[in-house]
Copies of this chain bind each other. A is one copy, B any other.
Amino acid sequence: MARIKLGMVGGGNDAFIGGVHRIASRIDDRFELVAGALSSTPEKSRASGEALGLPRIYDDFKHMAIREARLKNGIDAVAIVTPNNMHYPAAREFLKRGIHVICDKPLTSTLADAKKLVKAAEASSALFVLTHNYTGYPMVRQAREMVASGAIGKVRVVQVEYPQDWLSVEQDFKQAEWRTDPARSGVGGSTGDIGTHAHNLARFITGLEVESLAADLEAFVPGRRVDDNGHVLLRFHGGAKGMLWCSQVAPGNENALRIRIYGETGGLEWAQEDPNYLWHSPFGEPKRLITRNGAGAGDAAARVSRIPPGHPEGYLEGFATIYTEAANAIEAHKAGETPDPDILYPTIQDGLRGVEFIDACVRSSARNAAWVKL
């Protein structure tokens, strides 16, 4: 099976997430990176592209989209890994030319852009994949499968949190700089950058949508223009309730995404920093530690796991699963087939939900944490 030809927008030399996407695209050997417009200036774009040995280097994404669409062996898909505000303009160019888009989260920096991008995707024959990468972890799939199968009964309570500490003080390096600039990141700071991951994870595992929320956001670091801590009450359709906490000012937390879900008959707990474990607590029985590919783990996890239990898979493998699911879907699309129903990846609708979540948090907080419907 030939590799899918991939281009990349953003992800130049000093970017974090571009390198992650490139590794993720290689792990399962389904993609081949052949073109890029890796930076916002032609010079940097060229330098970064040459450093990677890219066959085709472009000054900007628009020229790349136009040219690649015309090439006989042009790219099948593009990875968009720019700051948030460029997701919409970049994605639009590829979608309208039938090139599949694999886009970093959050979907866009504004709700208006998100809605326009949904329309652009609907109008396109191409697929749109959003890299809410944490849904690629095998034990997250395991949790989702267990909730769906009734292993913990009807969900009552969802506690999800995503604390970090890197913005506890003012930071001026590139990753921090654009993420705290509302013009590029959007109105949400921690809510946009990591709160959306928490929100999406809760939706993905439980299968429940947030009906309304009440958010108390804060920018603790003096001078910061976006929230760096978010406290959010959640009410889900169907009666479950929850709390979401995101923070970038919580010293001792590196990337501590964690979810706990309690149903009528049991509980589940998963933590991103120790991703090969899933705790299952059937009420009235001892807790069980289910491990990736270990005894007690099911098909949904095995399907996206590469190596035996006890050989930890990590962040890059979880991210790679999103790419591999994208490859599965792209191959089915190419072949004109209905994709295997087991294929799971975050869609543009998930992306829209995420931007709506940010928007609702900001609006709620502006109204003193009043309830806002989603």
Q: Which residues of A contact B (CB under 8 A)?
A: 1-2, 16, 19-20, 22-23, 26-29, 53, 152, 156-157, 159, 161, 164-165, 168-169, 214, 216, 218, 220, 229, 231, 233, 235, 241-243, 245, 247, 249-256, 260, 262-267, 269, 272-276, 279-291, 294-296, 306-317, 368-369, 371
Are A273 and B273 in contact, with the CB atoms below 8 A?
no
Q: In the complex, A159→B161 CA distance in Å?
A: 11
- 19 pairs of residues in contact across A and B, judged by CB atoms under 8 Å: A16-B308, A157-B250, A159-B245, A164-B310, A168-B265, A233-B369, A243-B245, A251-B263, A251-B281, A252-B287, A254-B309, A273-B310, A274-B312, A286-B288, A286-B291, A287-B291, A307-B316, A311-B315, A314-B316
Q: In the complex, A373→B242 CA distance in Å?
A: 23
Copies in the complex: 4
The listed residue (B1, B252, B371) touching A53 by CB distance below 8 A is: B1
Are B285 and A287 in contact, with the CB atoms below 8 A?
no
Given contacts A243-B245, A312-B315, A369-B214, contact A269 B283 (CB under 8 A): no
The listed residue (B29, B157, B279, B316) touching A313 by CB distance below 8 A is: B316
Are A287 and B284 in contact, with the CB atoms below 8 A?
no
The listed residue (B250, B253, B307, B316) touching A306 by CB distance below 8 A is: B316
